[in-house]
Structure 1
Amino acid sequence: MKNKNKSILLMLFSALTFSSMQIIVKLLPDIPLLEKVFFRNFISLILAFFIIRKKRLRYFGLKKNQKFLFFRYLFGFAGVVLFFYATAQMLAADAAMLNKLSPVFVIVIAHFFLKENINIVQLSVLTVSIIGSLLVIKPQFDYTAIPAAAGFVSAVVSGAAYIFIRLINNRESVYTTVFYYSFFSSVSCLPFFFIDFAIPDIHELFLLVMLGALAALGQIALTFAYNGCPASEISIYDYSNIMFSSVLAYIFLHEVPDMQSIAGSTLILASSFVLYVYTKGRS
């Protein structure tokens, strides 16, 4: 099998695991938010620990890279917390769609932090994506808009996390970056256990472990997919996550997006496809 075909299959598998993880978040209504985030990161932490130990890599990276690793953790952790909150409070497909705005916000953040120019194509994609997100969010200017706003902000901070991943690039091993992020994300959740912690029953514990395992498998598959093929050729397949989330949410949660959400999702997907074609043409 060609490397590109393997990478596509890995991207699809990663999208499926992340979609399944999202459904599990909604199937655990009695488990506090930060407890779910902890399990999402703790399994990855254990896995990264043993890989780093076997490969004799650095756990926390070089001193000169601490700034980049810290901000990757900070924005990535905030993105997961906001995404899990949005997922728990709104339709899974809508939350997944808002989260997929992050590549669009990478354009804006890269402009300010990396001094990359924004051209007319990118500006058009950004404008259409925001219009689409407003259709999905359906702002009511009351408390009901908070979960959708959280989903929107999760895309922004996730975009910022991707920028710092780009800045780290080959300065550190992928496993070091994963360990650093997973360690501090797990530690950040612990203080909240004293405020709100639920002892899971056997069924809930199984789902929590599955939540972490799926996150770890999805991250590994995603890493190998990008290692085996240029991002410009396979990144579009990550949007299959939206389809998987929609199907799984319908099967397990009986969720059906309304016409306004479908229209907004169509605009976001169309603008993302234009961005993908444009980026691929420049690579």
Structure 2
Amino acid sequence: MEKLHNKSDTTKGILFLICSAFFFALMAVFVKLSGDISFVQKAFFRNAVAFLIAAGGTFGDIRAKGKSVIIIPKGALLFLILRAIAGSVGIFGNFYAIDRIVLADATILNKMAPFFTLIFSFIIIGEKIKPIPLICVIVAFLGSILIVKPSFNFTQMLPTGAAFMGGVGAGLAYASVRKLSYLKCNGKIIILFFSAFSMTLSVPYMIVNFNPMSFFQILMLVFAGICAAGGQFSVTAAYYHAPPNKISIYDYTQILFSMIFGFFLFGQIPDFLSLTGYFVIIAMAVLNFIYTKKHCESENVSVSVGD
């Protein structure tokens, strides 16, 4: 019965992660369609919508279940702050890149997050990294260099560097979510805290450099916020149901969604080096997934025999 429950949780985690990938790919489209606005301002409105949706869900839970849903468990505050800081780095880096490089490039660099999730899960939670996954992380990092294309042209390299750092931030954020799940912290509280924190970071810049927006731009950012909320709730639910080493490979479906959107909506075609980088990173993700799945199955067999 326990194994059946674990398989069910893993399946739910996979489905939630694919939903998250679709929502985040669509969010990037709306962010790009919103036009010539500061990436900080875009991030603010994206988080504002997500905050309102999370707040509505939280207050709905309070009415139904009482005040206990807003209690922050002991030890959770540190990881709520860490998740908020890391998630903000992830959003700012990703939004800065979306407006300046090919949509699929920004996505694949952001999708370095599952690899960094493994590393940070080891640091924060103590989830072990086997030799094969570690090799996959190293090779994937080398593959990302093909997309970043390091050069002495800082202006040209900055957007891809920002996208990469966004992936690092997202990886730390997801590992923090996993830790918060162990601490039994309510998922809506995690999203609410993160959205409020990221909005607060944006306020000083907004006061000094606010760009007036047209109705169309506001509408696009509202849609981006709705998609972001859908992505946040989905990814939070995914890592609540299953650990990163069982489901993170499915996060790469966002690359497929982004390439389709990028080609049909913006006429974007990644160059050869970027495509090679995609192949390397995805290949390592697949290898890591296959290895982890076989390793987990062999461990389950050993446990069953021992029992």
**What's the TM-score once normalised by structure 2's chain length?**
0.84
Q: CA deviation at 1:107?
A: 3.2
8 A contact 2:87–2:173 mirrored in 1: yes
Amino acid at match of 1:37: A
Match for residue 202 of structure 1 among 202, 212, 215: 215
Q: Deviations over 1:137-174 (max 9, x none)?
A: 11122221111111111111221222222222242111
Cα distance, 1:224–1:159 mapped onto 2, change above 3 Å = closer
Q: CA deviation at 1:257?
A: 0.3
Q: CA deviation at 1:193?
A: 1.0
How do 1:40-55 residues align onto structure 2 when only pairs under 5 Å count? 40-55=46-61
Amino acid at match of 2:162: A
Q: CA deviation at 1:8?
A: 4.6
Give me the whole-angstrom Cα distance separating, in 2, the residues matched to 1:76 and 1:276: 24
Pick 1 or 2: higher relative contact order, CA cutoff 8 A, min separation 6: 1
8 A contact 2:114–2:244 mirrored in 1: no
Amino acid at match of 1:247: I
How do 1:1-283 residues align onto structure 2 when only pairs under 5 Å count? 8-56=14-62, 57-59=68-70, 61-62=72-73, 64-115=75-126, 117-143=128-154, 144-171=156-183, 172-226=185-239, 233-283=246-296
Percent pairwise identity: 31
Q: CA deviation at 1:126?
A: 1.7
Give me the whole-angstrom Cα distance separating, in 2, the residues matched to 1:103 and 1:11: 11
SS at structure 2 position matched to 1:194: helix
Give me the whole-angstrom Cα distance separating, in 2, the residues matched to 1:225 and 1:72: 16
Q: CA deviation at 1:233?
A: 4.9
Q: CA deviation at 1:210?
A: 0.4
8 A contact 2:86–2:172 mirrored in 1: yes
Q: CA deviation at 1:52?
A: 1.4
Cα distance, 1:68–1:11 mapped onto 2, change above 3 Å = closer
SS at structure 1 position matched to 2:99: helix
SS at structure 1 position matched to 2:107: helix
Give me the whole-angstrom Cα distance separating, in 2, the residues matched to 1:276 and 1:41: 32
Cα distance, 1:12–1:113 mapped onto 2, change above 3 Å = closer
Q: How many residues were matched structurally?
A: 282
Amino acid at match of 1:273: V
Give me the whole-angstrom Cα distance separating, in 2, the residues matched to 1:112 and 1:231: 14
**What's the TM-score once normalised by structure 1's chain length?**
0.90
